[in-house]
Chain A
Amino acid sequence: DQQVKQNSPSLSVQEGRISILNCDYTNSMFDYFLWYKKYPAEGPTFLISISSIKDKNEDGRFTVFLNKSAKHLSLHIVPSQPGDSAVYFCAASTPVGGGADGLTFGKGTHLIIQP
């Protein structure tokens, strides 16, 4: 049972435009949601997170929106730059005993920024 879902394996966006990456989840016990960015042959790096009690968190060009009633979150990147081309993983955590161990990751979305 996949608790964190990223339904788009890939996304192509023109440089300078907005990139929107989506993520859905099923476990209502998740208390934090995180986005990681991964380049080939490197480990994932933490990008931005949001607590389940918030609906928006912003950090520079990156904004994460959380719609708890829809169990949906999205990452917005504005404006998109060539260096943003990478695989983006959505992840979620629960408090201890919340039904998942560690971070639960989605399968990732490969973002390609076109010049």
Chain B
Amino acid sequence: DVKVTQSSRYLVKRTGEKVFLECVQDMDHENMFWYRQDPGLGLRLIYFSYDVKMKEKGDIPEGYSVSREKKERFSLILESASTNQTSMYLCASSLTQGGSYGYTFGSGTRLTVV
């Protein structure tokens, strides 16, 4: 069964901390994505990557960076966590850049910044 694995289900971090959210997929997909989900706002794209060492900004990249050193791993970095980054973070991967195959999502990381 194909999988996207996010390293933590729940995280609590302090304001100003540097936070790493890890995502690994075992499907040999080239395309990987980070979204955040907030009530009433749906899923918003933070960053995405179409290849190793390649990254592109999504709709809300401010306060975040990403790293893709290996094909299977896509990391989201909060440089200095703030309370407005408290959210559910979802990683996804896909076979194609377009949506015909859809995305496979991880289970999500619920991050609370205090």
Contacts and interface: CB of A to CB of B under 8 A. Distances in A.
A44 B40 contact: no
A-B pairs, 3 with minimum CB distance: A93-B99, A43-B105, A107-B42
Interface residues of B, number: 27
Contact of A102 (B33, B40, B42, B104): B33
Interface of B: 4, 9, 33, 35, 40-45, 48, 56, 58, 90, 92, 97-100, 102-108, 110
Contacts, number: 70
B42 A93 contact: no
Given A44-B90, A93-B99, A102-B58, 19 more contacts: A6-B42, A33-B99, A36-B105, A43-B107, A44-B43, A45-B105, A46-B103, A89-B42, A89-B43, A92-B99, A93-B100, A94-B98, A96-B97, A101-B45, A103-B99, A103-B103, A105-B42, A105-B43, A107-B41
Interface residues of A, number: 29
A79 interface: no
A89 B97 CA distance: 19
A1 to B, nearest CB: 11
A42 B42 CA distance: 14
A96 B110 CA distance: 31
Contacts of B45: 101-103
Given A43-B90, A106-B42, A49 B110 contact: no
Contacts of A6: 42
A62 interface: no
Interface in A16-66: 31-34, 36, 41-46, 49, 51
Nearest to B34: A102
Contacts of B56: 101
Interface in A64-109: 89, 91-96, 101-103, 105-108
A95 B42 CA distance: 22
B98 A91 contact: no
